[in-house]
Amino acid sequence: MGILLRVLVAAGLAADAVVHWVFASDMAFVEGGSIAGDDLFRAQAILAAIAAVLVVVWARRWTYAVAFLVAASAVGALLLYYYVDVGPLGPLPQMYDPAWYTEKTISLVGEGVAALAALAGMLLPARSDDRSPSGAPDRAGAF
């Protein structure tokens, strides 16, 4: 099950990273806030890529937690800005986008799969082969 969770998290975050990186230049002219829209999209792409690598290299509860935060926050932002025109939020620009297109679907599905798989990775108990001879979880199962 562990390898399946790693693959699901990494693939979902990779889809998120690619879509955000490709669309970053389109967000350069978004108004409001002190953070430019293209910088925000590039930051999301980089964070998603880092979280994916962390889970692939070190599948620990804390790496799954990082991946969950990155993916779930992206799902939340996508849905919020699709349904609600909240305007600029503090340093964030006006990101309202009521249109739906293929790339948004790819991003949402990837983020959703990654969030659910990362949540499972955080909550499922460590496998029996992840335990030390004394029966206590080793560092791999620790937070």
| Region class of 135: left (phi > 0), else alpha (psi between -120 and 50), else beta | left
Distance of CA 107 to the CA centre of its chain: 10
83, 89 in Cβ contact below 8 A? no
pTM over 0.75: yes
Report pLDDT for 32.
86
How confident is the prediction along the chain (143 residues), in pLDDT tens digits per residue?
789 999 999 999 999 999 999 999 999 888 888 899 999 999 999 999 999 999 999 999 999 999 999 999 999 999 999 999 999 988 999 999 999 999 999 999 999 999 999 999 999 886 544 443 444 454 444 44
